[in-house]
Structure 1
Amino acid sequence: MSPLLSPDSPELDEAHLALLAHYAKYLGRAPKAMRFASHSGERRSRQKGHGMEMLELRLYQASDELRHIDWRVTARTGQAHTRIYAQENEHQRVLLLDLSNGAYFGTRHTFISTRFIQLAGLIAWRSEQQGDTLSYRLTYGTEDQASNKHGTLPSLLNQLKEASKPAHRQKYARSSSVWSNSIVTAKAHNKDVIIMTDKQTWDDKEELALMRLAKHNQVHWIQIIDSNAFNLPSGQYQFADSQGSKLVNVSKRSMEQAKIEFFAQNTKMRQKLTSLGVRHQMFDLTESPEKIARYLLAQGALH
């Protein structure tokens, strides 16, 4: 069986993370990405004379070049507007990975947390190989690691290795979402933001932060589930979480009810994400991280 689909251990080592570089290199070629367009109805267009593709028209900011001010729109609206071009903003990516204690679980192949970490590794290697800019934030256990600097691949891979350790499921102490209160999302603009989490609910403050993020960026939400968890044979099982180990009685009826409740909540989440303009895709644990990476490639989130 493929070492990517079913690694020897859910706890990944340096060799496995290094192997991801090979898979990242041969993901294939990405289609021409459809870049972010503002909600005001403006669309990207080829501006004569610039030799660059316009992505967005937005209000002037102090750091903008004067030569990119759109004087016609400025005169019409009474407010200075700037044209943002593809050459200045291509290939900028934000990776947000949040692993709850429940993600350190799996009935086949590996843990959900491991699959997320493999995908994060593929994204990191692909970004490095393509010369893309990658900012990231990882939250797992009691850890919260973030960087918006260049040349952080070795550090990121080390943090992914640490995040794969099952011991982190015993130490879950976060209250806010991975996309809120972060240096990597505070000023994100015209970037591809990839959120990977098993989170299905959030509060009003977190939703406002997600709305702002989706307004100025293309946000991709990747969810990984273990559908086999709803098909366990009736019996008594031992589960471990942040509260420790406990025995759980499982019956066919309880499994059906859990499945109904999960997918009802999932439907609500998908509807919310759609209303915010967030692209959501759910994958099963039986699907390889390579397949998920190719989906992101097809969506333009990777190059």
Structure 2
Amino acid sequence: MNPLLSPASPELNDSDFALLAHYAKHLGRASKATRFSMKSGEKRSKQKGHGMEMLELRPYQTSDDLRHVDWRVTARTGHTHTRLYAQENDHQRLLLMDLSPAAYFSTRYAFISTRFLQLAGLIAWRSEQQGDKLLYSLSFADKTVENFNKSSVWAMIKQLKSASQVSNRNQPGNHQLGWYKSKVTAKAHNKDIIILTDKQDWDSEQQTALQQLAKHNQVHWVQIFDHHSFELPPGQYQFADSSGTVSVNITKKSSEQAKQDFFEQNAIMRQRLAKIGIRHQLFDISKPPEGIARYLLDQGALR
């Protein structure tokens, strides 16, 4: 079995995060068509300049800088071609992770919180390997940890290890979005923003803040759930949360109702995000973290 799919413990250690570096390095690269596709209203544009990553080679246009004409291709094809480059400062991203106490649960493979933390680790390693600047805001239990400057991967991993502690589910958690009124997002502009959360609801004021964030940035929203939690055999189960341990009687009817409620609420959430141009993707816990990272790569959130 994939060692990332089902780690030995939900409480991740240095070895778990060190393993992620190997997977981050071998994610591959996104297809060109996806990497520099643009959506309506997106502020980012292709810039031309030396010392930057080449995006594509295309036929010359009258507005192109003659310094960037590819003379070898021009001579071979008989038609003038120009190289286009991406600005290095395009490769800046924010990672916003917000875990509720309910994320510290799953029926198999790994806790939902564990999958989010693995994905956060992959994003951190990939950014480090590509020389990209990664700012972050991590919310879990009753804590919010923010980083405004580029720091070492291990400084972030220290916080991720703390977030993996099962005892975090005994805290009441934050009912607001963890990055609401965050200093990290206050002046975010022209960045790739990756949101990792299991939360599905927020108030109108927070919706306005999200809309402002999406107006000036490319936002990718990743949600993880466990479909097996709606397929538990009927019986009595013990569940622990911030209120203590309680006994819950599961029936086929209650499971079906819980599944219906989840997807109805999820559909409402999707609509709210779609209205403000935020890309949302729902993954099951059976999806390994490197698979989710490749999705982000294909969407242009990573490179």
1:95/1:194 contact within 8 Å kept: yes
2:97/2:195 contact within 8 Å kept: yes
Residues 139 and 43 from structure 1, CA distance in 2 versus in 1: closer, same or farther, beyond 3 angstroms?
A: closer
When the two structures are superposed, what TM-score results if normalisation uses the length of structure 2? 0.84
SS at structure 2 position matched to 1:97? strand
| Amino acid corresponding to residue 153 of structure 2 in structure 1 | L
2: CA distance between counterparts of 1:270 and 1:235?
Answer: 33
SS at structure 1 position matched to 2:249? strand
1: CA distance between counterparts of 2:288 and 2:44?
Answer: 35
Q: Is 1:97 the equivalent of 2:97? A: yes
2: CA distance between counterparts of 1:194 and 1:108?
Answer: 26
Q: How many residues align?
A: 269
Structure 2 counterpart of 1:235? 235
SS at structure 2 position matched to 1:184? helix
1:257-288 C-alpha deviation (Å, 9 max, x unpaired): 11111100100101111111000000000110
Residues 13 and 42 from structure 1, CA distance in 2 versus in 1: closer, same or farther, beyond 3 angstroms?
A: closer
2: CA distance between counterparts of 1:4 and 1:107?
Answer: 16
Structure 1 counterpart of 2:76? none
Question: What is the Cα deviation at residue 37 of structure 1?
Answer: 5.7
2:220/2:301 contact within 8 Å kept: yes
1: CA distance between counterparts of 2:128 and 2:282?
Answer: 26
| Amino acid corresponding to residue 237 of structure 2 in structure 1 | Y
Q: CA RMSD in A?
A: 1.9
Structure 1 counterpart of 2:6? 6
Question: What is the Cα deviation at residue 142 of structure 1?
Answer: 1.2
Residues 258 and 143 from structure 1, CA distance in 2 versus in 1: closer, same or farther, beyond 3 angstroms?
A: same
Of 282-291 and 151-160, the range deviating more from structure 2: 151-160
1: CA distance between counterparts of 2:38 and 2:129?
Answer: 23
| Amino acid corresponding to residue 179 of structure 1 in structure 2 | W
- Mapping for residues 36-185 of structure 1, pairs under 5 Å: 39=41, 44=45, 86-87=86-87, 89-185=89-185
2:43/2:190 contact within 8 Å kept: no
Structure 2 counterpart of 1:20? 20
Structure 1 counterpart of 2:269? 269
| Amino acid corresponding to residue 45 of structure 2 in structure 1 | R
1:94-151 C-alpha deviation (Å, 9 max, x unpaired): 0001110000000011100000000000000000000001000000011110001112
1:194-228 C-alpha deviation (Å, 9 max, x unpaired): 00001101001100110000000000000000000
2: CA distance between counterparts of 1:171 and 1:42?
Answer: 40
Question: What is the Cα deviation at residue 172 of structure 1?
Answer: 2.5
1: CA distance between counterparts of 2:119 and 2:31?
Answer: 20
1: CA distance between counterparts of 2:211 and 2:103?
Answer: 25
Structure 1 counterpart of 2:36? 34
2:46/2:87 contact within 8 Å kept: no
Structure 1: which 5+ runs fail to align? 54-84
2: CA distance between counterparts of 1:103 and 1:44?
Answer: 37
Question: What is the Cα deviation at residue 181 of structure 1?
Answer: 1.1
1: CA distance between counterparts of 2:299 and 2:246?
Answer: 41
SS at structure 1 position matched to 2:186? coil
SS at structure 2 position matched to 1:177? coil
| Amino acid corresponding to residue 44 of structure 1 in structure 2 | S
Question: What is the Cα deviation at residue 30 of structure 1?
Answer: 2.2
2: CA distance between counterparts of 1:87 and 1:3?
Answer: 36
Structure 2 counterpart of 1:255? 255
Structure 1 counterpart of 2:215? 215
Question: What is the Cα deviation at residue 184 of structure 1?
Answer: 1.1
Residues 124 and 43 from structure 1, CA distance in 2 versus in 1: closer, same or farther, beyond 3 angstroms?
A: closer
2: CA distance between counterparts of 1:214 and 1:171?
Answer: 30
1:33-59 C-alpha deviation (Å, 9 max, x unpaired): 2366663x8783567xx6789xxxxxx
Residues 46 and 133 from structure 1, CA distance in 2 versus in 1: closer, same or farther, beyond 3 angstroms?
A: closer
